[in-house]
Amino acid sequence: MSAADTGRRTSRTGYLLLLPGLLWLVVFFLVPTIQLAATSLYDPSGSLDSGYAMTWSFSNYWDALSTFRAPFLRSLLYAAVATVLALVLAYPLAYAIAFKAGRWKNLMLVLVIAPFFTSFLVRTLAWKSILSDNGFVATTLQVLHILGPGGRLLATSVAVVTGLTYNFLPFMVLPLYASLEKIDLRLIEASSDLYADALTSFRKVTLPLSMPGLVAGTLLTFIPAAGDYINAELLGTPRQYMIGNVIDNLFLVQLDYPAAAACSVVLMAAIVVMVLVYVRRAGTEELV
């Protein structure tokens, strides 16, 4: 019939619209990712010049995990700490923009994004100046005896986590703001009417309603933070190296593709598992 006719017509247009974009993603994202998984099982004794043989070497994973256990765990730990810190910083900011900013709302939103218009690397290098041994932060902390004399900020875990927290903060603020902004203010008023206590009404009403933004923000912060290596490289030392540094080094310097691929796959797998567990625990299926 005619109705089915129009359905077919529209879907043909649909496929045409999808085709170029999806093709691009398949060729330049999906295929390489699958190939990466395959590479991780190649014979590790091969080389770029001699070529690799597919030997289903699952031992690559074991080798990667045992050799690079420390940077792996460090990546997850740093990313987790940075995510929690970002949440602690972002929530009041997002809350203030959504509910307290009034007519300054748009301006404040612009201010949140504005710092990130400068290059990622330039910003991270600025942190290098801020945290430098003679910088005001280190000096102040020394005066307050929080930092021992001769104690450093730069080239420590603190510096790397600070950089990570800073660099991915907007990814936390914006989704949080988006879900807070949707909350009907009357709900909060109604709850303060019922519970009277601001803290309780926050815990019982605002926080649960902002859950989708919180989950999205946490993921958007954690994922890039776990894979980052710029902060560790610029603000840390090899003792702070994360798995990203390892992958980068294996791929570009040592040209050990199977080991590098195995590390990449493990990183991906760890992230996917954590995301799934987290999403289930947080009780939301909304990813984007």
Partner 1 sequence: MPDLDRDPVPGHAGADLTLTSVTKRFGSFTAVDDLDLVVEQGRFFALLGPSGCGKTTTLRMVAGLEEPTRGTITIAGKDISRLKPYKRPVNTVFQSYALFPHLDIFENVAFGLRRRGVKDVAGQVGRMLELVELGGFGKRRPGQLSGGQQQRVALARALINRPQVLLLDEPLGALDLKLRRQMQIELKRIQTEVGITFVHVTHDQEEAMTMADTIAVMNHGVIEQLGSPGELYDSPATTFVSNFLGQSNLVKAEVVGRDAQDVLVDAHGSRLAAPAVRARRTSGTVWAGVRPEKVHLTGGAGGDGSAPGPGANHLTGGTVSDVSFIGVSTQYLVRMPWGQELTVFEQNSGARDSFRVGDRVDLRWTSEHTFLLDADQDAHAGDESYAALTEGAAT
Partner 2 sequence: MSRVGRWVTEHAVMAVAMLVLVYMFLPIFYVVLMSFNDQGRLAYEFQGFTLANWEDPCGPSGMCGAVVKSLQIGFLATLGATLLGTLVAFALVRHRFRGRAATSLLIFLPMATPEVVMGSSLLALFTSVGLSGSLGFWSILVAHIMFCLSFVVVTVKARLAGLDSAMEQAAMDLYANEWQTFWRITFPLVFPGIMAAALLSFSLSFDDFIVTNFNHGNTVTFPMYVWGAAQRGIPPQVNVVGTVMFILALALVLGGSLLQRRRPA
Q: How far is the CB of 18 from partner 2 (least distance, A)?
A: 4
Q: Does position 50 bind partner 1 by CB under 8 A?
A: no
Q: Does position 238 bind partner 2 by CB under 8 A?
A: no
Q: How far is the CB of 186 from partner 2 (least distance, A)?
A: 16
Q: Does position 1 bind partner 1 by CB under 8 A?
A: yes
Binding partner of 7, given partner 2, partner 1, none, CB within 5-8 angstroms per partner class:
partner 2
User: Which residue of 247, 256, 259, 262 would you call a contact of partner 2, by CB under 8 A?
Assistant: 247
Q: Does position 3 bind partner 1 by CB under 8 A?
A: yes
Size of the site for partner 1 (CB under 8 A): 4
Residue 114 token pair: 């504005």
User: Which residue of 65, 73, 113, 277 would you call a contact of partner 2, by CB under 8 A?
Assistant: 113
Q: Return the number of the residue (67 or 224) whose C-beta is nearest partner 2.
A: 224
Q: Does position 73 bind partner 2 by CB under 8 A?
A: no
Q: Does position 21 bind partner 2 by CB under 8 A?
A: yes
Q: How far is the CB of 264 from partner 2 (least distance, A)?
A: 5
In three-state form (DSSP H/G/I as H, E/B as E, the rest C), the secondary structure along the chain is CHHHHHHHHHHHHHHHHHHHHHHHHHHHHHHHHHHHHHHCCECCCCECCCECCECCCCHHHHHHHHHCHHHHHHHHHHHHHHHHHHHHHHHHHHHHHHHHCHHHHHHHHHHHHHHHHCCHHHHHHHHHHHCCCCCHHHHHHHHCCCCCCCCCCCCCHHHHHHHHHHHCHHHHHHHHHHHHHCCCHHHHHHHHHHHCCHHHHHHHHHHHHCHHHHHHHHHHHHHHHHHCCHHHHHHCCHHHCCHHHHHHHHHHCCCCHHHHHHHHHHHHHHHHHHHHHHHHHHCCCCCC
Segment interacting with partner 1 (CB under 8 A) among 2-10, 24-32, 69-77, 114-122: 2-10
Q: Return the number of the residue (188 or 211) whose C-beta is nearest partner 2.
A: 188
Residues 154-173 touching partner 2, rule: CB under 8 A, are 166, 169
Q: Does position 226 bind partner 2 by CB under 8 A?
A: yes
- Positions that interact with partner 1 (CB under 8 A): 1-3, 6
